[in-house]
A and B are shown apart, each in its own frame.
Chain A
Amino acid sequence: MAYPYRHEQETVVLTRGFGDPRTRTLEGWRALGGYNALAKVLEMAPNDVIEVVKASGLRGRGGAGFPTGVKWSFMPKDDSKQPHYLLINADESEPGAFKDRELLRWTPHQVIEGALIGAHAIRARHVYIYMRGEFFEPAQIMARAIEEIYQANLAGRDILGSGVDIDVTLHLGAGAYICGEETALMNSLEGRRGQPRIKPPFPAVMGAFGKPTTINNVETVAAVPHIIVNGADWYRSFGTDKSPGTKLFNVSGHVVRRGNYELPLGFPMKEFLYDVCGGIRDGRQLKAVIPGGSSVPILTAAECEELALDYESVAAAGSMLGTASVIVMDDRTNIVKQVRRMVEFYAHESCGQCTPCREGTEWLAKILRRIEAGQGTEEDLDTLLDLGANMTGTTICVLSDSAAAPVASSIEKFRDDYLALLGRAPEAPALAAAH
């Protein structure tokens, strides 16, 4: 069965196996040249692997866009003393994001191969793939793939006779969004409450089990085998100078064709929406776009006109490319309702450690619910903004900031949506009824 939809403008690298169940098997992945990159890397010195990835300009696909090679180079270079760990963050749980899921369920070996290469580069002897608990199908597929690589001596002791030992373990989360935050992920992996840790110490110094650790996103490591086989220059032939390579764009919302598209970074937003995704559903007008998953500021239709989809351009427009999880909203969308729904998500998912987040997310949600019910005042908007400001930069992780950002950006850009709802219902319905 063909993958649901593939657009002619796509640059197919990571998504090559999508839609073909054979790619899920070791045999199928090898038929596509799989594990050649690993064989090549096992003959290379770890530092040389890091240099190749550095040269490629590959940036982390988990949202922050930090250069992967640089991240790997933070790991201690003396491998003899203590274990190192590579954690693959497969806890994809940002509302709007569903790109890693597809990589995991169609190309498990692509992810594993990239992880093994990364492990060799950072001198890790153990890879943990931390997968969100709800990914039943991807987990089954991944578990089978891990079994296959052990049988084929692509994992375990003395991989392919190279003398390198790397174990791969699949670990399932228990359903908390915050466990996608890398330090909360480590806590969860260790069997603790999934709560972010204070940094410093940074994971490369003291991470999982108190040892030097690197955490990479699924899509990040999936790109690594291709870079090894084809070279850094080849990878840089896609995308822009500062945002090289291809990226999976996962689109949801009011477009004709929702789904995953692999495009070079820097692809024009307008072309993406109207050509690749087939335009706005039902012939409506575009109202707003959240370009990088729920935690990034919202963009108006006007702001999308000239926008290019790469890290720098989206940041310059006042938002973030994040996970490139594009949420599209047409002109019928009630932005207040959308923001309320999102803030409720963050209130539900706040780990509860830091007070501004624990109390603030709930407070924002309650005010937004009241405004939506027509019992808001203009004062509430000021309160929302001030609470948001008090929730920003005051907590251990950025969940709090993420909850506050869409509130602030939506009040700034779609104030009319709020004003339309203010004072529509009597201030206190129960009291009014009593009179």
Chain B
Amino acid sequence: MANVNEGGTAADMVTCTIDGVEVSVPKGTRIIEAAEGIGLGIAHYCYHPALSAPAMCRMCLVEVEGAPKLAPACVTTVGDGQVINTESERALKAREGTLEFYLFNHPLDCPICDKSGECKLQDYVHSEGRAHGRSLEAKRVLGQDDFGGDILYDGDRCIMCTRCVRFMREIGGEDALCVVQRGHRSVIDTFYDEGVGENLWAGNIVDICPVGALLSKDFLHKARVWDLDRTPSVCASCSQGCNIYLDGRDNAVDRLRPRQNTEVNSYWMCDYGRYNYEWLNRQPRLESPLVGGTESAWQAAVISLVERLKALPSGTRVRVVGSAVLGNEDNGLLARLAEVVGDGETVFRSARAADEEPCPGFPVLRRRRELAANVEGLKLMGFSRVGDDEGRGGLEASSGDVVIVLGDDLADLPEDFGRGAELFVHLATHASAAAAGADYVLPVTLYAEQEGTFTNADGRVQRFWPGLQPPAMARPAWQVLGVLLAGLGDGAAPADAANAFLRVAQIHDAFAGLSYENIGARGALVNELVRLGAGAGEEG
């Protein structure tokens, strides 16, 4: 037998024609993938690029010239010289026919269905289905079933694509769901009363359900999806840095959804991160700078704070507290401030879990021990951890110190915290009892309200974008700190987050060579040698 590798790369490639477009793909490529490569989306329900393909939804049937039957594009590999037609009369008729079968028992309750607007059944029926249904028969009624945890199952809407069953088995690592009964009596069910509630990854089945059969109780009837603003972001709940969308409206986050990134989280995110977003909506917020407890304009506050800082004798011990849920830009400029003002000490507090929890079917993805997004970034910039695994303690202030706290709400600390310090500055999002006596309280934005970057546990710098409007007077911390540094004669204040990042990259070798441009939407790794050096002595 001839060596298939003979002749080099060309021998491993096959060329086919899809809807008149010639495309060369590696041998073994499936038709649906080849079509994707030329921007042609072949309709499908059961197929998902990260799951096994049962070829049972029968939506992706395409005409392969010379073949007696239509071929499922999700499992049929491209043959050399094949002519494939997704829009032939037979293919169109098959799709129209199959869509009609889908609607035979479907309740068509789009007006009260959460999936409406992002439902593949709705989309395909509107684009390729019959204008009018022919069924005169009563529909089968199965009702709803509680699958445990956040998951609700609506059997009437289910199209039996079994994506959820396969997700739980292949990615969630647990045979938690199955098809029971057969034929038109088929229904997805859990085993006994166990459900999917204990599985950390179960929330993903709501995302991958092509219809409204799997519902999030948390999102149930909360919003129409076309009213939602969708912002690409990064999950802040652990140092994995899953790529996500912040979906919200009326300036509040309504849900988090994973955003595909093969290097980080594939198509998935964990439920710990998914449901941890109410802190972004927490009210009331700090609305105005406070100087000595009195509301002040920004300009006056900044000018007086610069004067106070300038007046500090050299050798003053400065302690700054960084935030693991704010960006490299914010924390980087904070560290710089500590350096410029005096004898700087940079610390942070952040909660840690006892163990990490890997995703069984995609072990690159783990709910990490560090329960905040930017711990790695802080470490790279020389911040050291204080306090316990709950993110408490470790901040006992000594008199004569300058204390500058970013983000940390100091919830565990007494009201007289910082009284002994010569200067106590709180850059915060919410009022804090412990900071009631602070010399300066400066309102800053949440990461979800600003542009910035996190550095995940693997040293991947990833960008996030503003999805929420900050309170009128709140400013990104990098901006406040940049202005303070400029006031102290340490360079010009950065005009935007991109420049703030460049400034930080100049200071910290780990970020050298990186910019918003080359980080892009997928992220980029920090200088590995610097990272390993910084990580030495720290346990993972």
Q: Which residues of A contact B (CB under 8 A)?
A: 176, 178, 193, 198, 347-363, 366-367, 370, 383, 386-387, 389-391, 393-396
CB distance from A2 to the nearest CB of B (A): 41
> Which among B23-31, B55-63, B206-214 touches the partner chain?
B55-63
- Chain B residues with CB under 8 Å of A360's CB are 101, 104
Known A355-B101, A355-B159, A366-B137: A394·B94 in contact at CB below 8 Å: yes
**Among B55, B98, B181, B184, which residue has its beta carbon within 8 angstroms of that of A362?**
B184
- Chain B residues with CB under 8 Å of A389's CB are 97
- When the two chains form their complex, are residues B183 and A355 in contact, meaning their CB atoms are under 8 A apart? no
**Among B58, B68, B105, which residue has its beta carbon within 8 angstroms of that of A354?**
B58
Besides A198-B72, A352-B184, A386-B97, 14 new A-B residue pairs in contact (Cβ under 8 A), listed by A number: A347-B183, A347-B184, A352-B183, A355-B59, A355-B159, A355-B160, A356-B101, A361-B183, A362-B140, A363-B135, A366-B138, A367-B136, A393-B69, A394-B94
Select from chain A the residue with minimum beta-carbon distance to B100.
Answer: A390
- When the two chains form their complex, are residues B98 and A356 in contact, meaning their CB atoms are under 8 A apart? yes
- Chain A residues with CB under 8 Å of B160's CB are 352-353, 355, 358
- When the two chains form their complex, are residues A394 and B137 in contact, meaning their CB atoms are under 8 A apart? no
- When the two chains form their complex, are residues A353 and B70 in contact, meaning their CB atoms are under 8 A apart? no
Q: 7 shortest A-B CB distances, which residue pairs?
A: A390-B97, A350-B183, A352-B186, A359-B101, A362-B184, A353-B56, A366-B137
Q: How far is the CA of A386 from the CA of B140 in the complex (A)?
A: 22
Q: How far is the CA of A416 from the CA of B98 in the complex (A)?
A: 30
CB distance from A362 to the nearest CB of B (A): 4
- Chain A residues with CB under 8 Å of B59's CB are 355
Question: Which interface residue of B94, B98, B105, B159 has the most chain A CB atoms within 10 A?
Answer: B98
Known A198-B75, A370-B136: A394·B97 in contact at CB below 8 Å: yes
User: Which positions 149-184 of chain B face chain A at CB distance < 8 Å?
Assistant: 159-160, 179, 181-184
Q: How far is the CA of A412 from the CA of B75 in the complex (A)?
A: 36
CB distance from A435 to the nearest CB of B (A): 20
Binary interface profile of B, 128-140, with partner A (CB < 8 Å = 1, else 0)?
A: 0000001111101
CB distance from A399 to the nearest CB of B (A): 10
Q: How far is the CA of A292 from the CA of B405 in the complex (A)?
A: 84
User: Which positions 465-500 of chain B face chain A at CB distance < 8 Å?
Assistant: none
Q: How far is the CA of A361 from the CA of B181 in the complex (A)?
A: 15
- Chain A residues with CB under 8 Å of B105's CB are 359, 362
**Among B134, B135, B138, B183, which residue has its beta carbon within 8 angstroms of that of A349?**
B183
Q: How far is the CA of A344 from the CA of B79 in the complex (A)?
A: 40
CB distance from B484 to the nearest CB of A (A): 63
Question: Which interface residue of A349, A362, A367 has the most chain B CB atoms within 10 A?
Answer: A362
- When the two chains form their complex, are residues B75 and A390 in contact, meaning their CB atoms are under 8 A apart? no
- When the two chains form their complex, are residues A394 and B70 in contact, meaning their CB atoms are under 8 A apart? yes
CB distance from B335 to the nearest CB of A (A): 57
Select from chain B the residue with minimum beta-carbon distance to A176.
Answer: B182
CB distance from A91 to the nearest CB of B (A): 15
- Chain B residues with CB under 8 Å of A367's CB are 136-137
- Chain B residues with CB under 8 Å of A355's CB are 56-59, 98, 101-102, 159-160
Question: Which interface residue of B59, B70, B184 has the most chain A CB atoms within 10 A?
Answer: B184
B93 at the interface (CB under 8 A from A): yes
Question: Which interface residue of A358, A361, A386 has the most chain B CB atoms within 10 A?
Answer: A358
- Chain A residues with CB under 8 Å of B197's CB are none
B54 at the interface (CB under 8 A from A): yes
Select from chain A the residue with minimum beta-carbon distance to B181.
Answer: A352
Known A383-B134, A393-B70: A348·B183 in contact at CB below 8 Å: yes
Q: How far is the CA of A198 from the CA of B182 in the complex (A)?
A: 18
User: Which positions 72-97 of chain B face chain A at CB distance < 8 Å?
Assistant: 72, 75, 93-94, 97
- Chain A residues with CB under 8 Å of B138's CB are 366
- When the two chains form their complex, are residues B61 and A350 in contact, meaning their CB atoms are under 8 A apart? no
- Chain B residues with CB under 8 Å of A386's CB are 97
- Chain A residues with CB under 8 Å of B134's CB are 383
CB distance from B192 to the nearest CB of A (A): 18
Q: How far is the CA of A193 from the CA of B189 in the complex (A)?
A: 14
- Chain B residues with CB under 8 Å of A350's CB are 182-184
Q: How far is the CA of A357 from the CA of B184 in the complex (A)?
A: 9
Question: Which interface residue of A176, A349, A361, A395 has the most chain B CB atoms within 10 A?
Answer: A395
User: Which positions 317-334 of chain B face chain A at CB distance < 8 Å?
Assistant: none
User: Which positions 101-131 of chain B face chain A at CB distance < 8 Å?
Assistant: 101-102, 104-105
- When the two chains form their complex, are residues B94 and A390 in contact, meaning their CB atoms are under 8 A apart? yes
CB distance from A221 to the nearest CB of B (A): 29
16 contacts between A and B (CB under 8 A): A176-B182, A347-B183, A350-B182, A352-B183, A355-B59, A355-B102, A355-B160, A358-B160, A359-B104, A360-B104, A361-B183, A362-B140, A363-B101, A363-B135, A367-B136, A395-B58
**Among B54, B55, B69, B93, which residue has its beta carbon within 8 angstroms of that of A390?**
B93
- When the two chains form their complex, are residues A362 and B183 in contact, meaning their CB atoms are under 8 A apart? yes
CB distance from A187 to the nearest CB of B (A): 12
CB distance from B59 to the nearest CB of A (A): 8
Select from chain A the residue with minimum beta-carbon distance to B94.
Answer: A394
Select from chain A the residue with minimum beta-carbon distance to B57.
Answer: A355
Select from chain A the residue with minimum beta-carbon distance to B178.
Answer: A193
- Chain A residues with CB under 8 Å of B56's CB are 353-355, 396
- When the two chains form their complex, are residues B184 and A361 in contact, meaning their CB atoms are under 8 A apart? yes
- When the two chains form their complex, are residues B101 and A390 in contact, meaning their CB atoms are under 8 A apart? yes
CB distance from A175 to the nearest CB of B (A): 11
Question: Which interface residue of B138, B160, B183 has the most chain A CB atoms within 10 A?
Answer: B183
Q: How far is the CA of A363 from the CA of B160 in the complex (A)?
A: 17
- When the two chains form their complex, are residues B98 and A358 in contact, meaning their CB atoms are under 8 A apart? no
CB distance from A192 to the nearest CB of B (A): 11
- Chain B residues with CB under 8 Å of A390's CB are 93-94, 97-98, 100-101
User: Which positions 424-439 of chain B face chain A at CB distance < 8 Å?
Assistant: none
CB distance from B56 to the nearest CB of A (A): 4
CB distance from A216 to the nearest CB of B (A): 25
- Chain A residues with CB under 8 Å of B94's CB are 390, 394
Q: How far is the CA of A396 from the CA of B59 in the complex (A)?
A: 12
- When the two chains form their complex, are residues B55 and A198 in contact, meaning their CB atoms are under 8 A apart? yes
Q: How far is the CA of A211 from the CA of B137 in the complex (A)?
A: 45
CB distance from B481 to the nearest CB of A (A): 58
Q: How far is the CA of A355 from the CA of B58 in the complex (A)?
A: 7
- Chain A residues with CB under 8 Å of B100's CB are 390
**Among A370, A391, A396, which residue has its beta carbon within 8 angstroms of that of B137?**
A370
Q: How far is the CA of A356 from the CA of B100 in the complex (A)?
A: 9
- When the two chains form their complex, are residues B137 and A358 in contact, meaning their CB atoms are under 8 A apart? no
- Chain A residues with CB under 8 Å of B101's CB are 355-356, 358-360, 363, 390
- Chain A residues with CB under 8 Å of B69's CB are 393
- Chain A residues with CB under 8 Å of B159's CB are 355
CB distance from B245 to the nearest CB of A (A): 30
Q: How far is the CA of A391 from the CA of B104 in the complex (A)?
A: 14
**Among A352, A362, A395, which residue has its beta carbon within 8 angstroms of that of B104?**
A362
- Chain B residues with CB under 8 Å of A352's CB are 160, 179, 181-186
- Chain A residues with CB under 8 Å of B186's CB are 352, 358
- Chain B residues with CB under 8 Å of A198's CB are 54-55, 72, 75
- Chain A residues with CB under 8 Å of B98's CB are 355-356, 390, 394
CB distance from A244 to the nearest CB of B (A): 27
- When the two chains form their complex, are residues A394 and B58 in contact, meaning their CB atoms are under 8 A apart? yes
CB distance from A316 to the nearest CB of B (A): 20
Q: How far is the CA of A387 from the CA of B99 in the complex (A)?
A: 12
- When the two chains form their complex, are residues B104 and A353 in contact, meaning their CB atoms are under 8 A apart? no
CB distance from A431 to the nearest CB of B (A): 13
- Chain B residues with CB under 8 Å of A351's CB are 182-183
Q: How far is the CA of A349 from the CA of B184 in the complex (A)?
A: 10
- Chain A residues with CB under 8 Å of B93's CB are 390
- Chain B residues with CB under 8 Å of A193's CB are 179
- Chain B residues with CB under 8 Å of A363's CB are 101, 104, 135, 137
- Chain B residues with CB under 8 Å of A383's CB are 134
- Chain A residues with CB under 8 Å of B97's CB are 356, 386-387, 389-391, 394
- When the two chains form their complex, are residues A359 and B55 in contact, meaning their CB atoms are under 8 A apart? no
- Chain B residues with CB under 8 Å of A359's CB are 101-102, 104-105, 184
- Chain A residues with CB under 8 Å of B75's CB are 198
- Chain A residues with CB under 8 Å of B55's CB are 198, 396
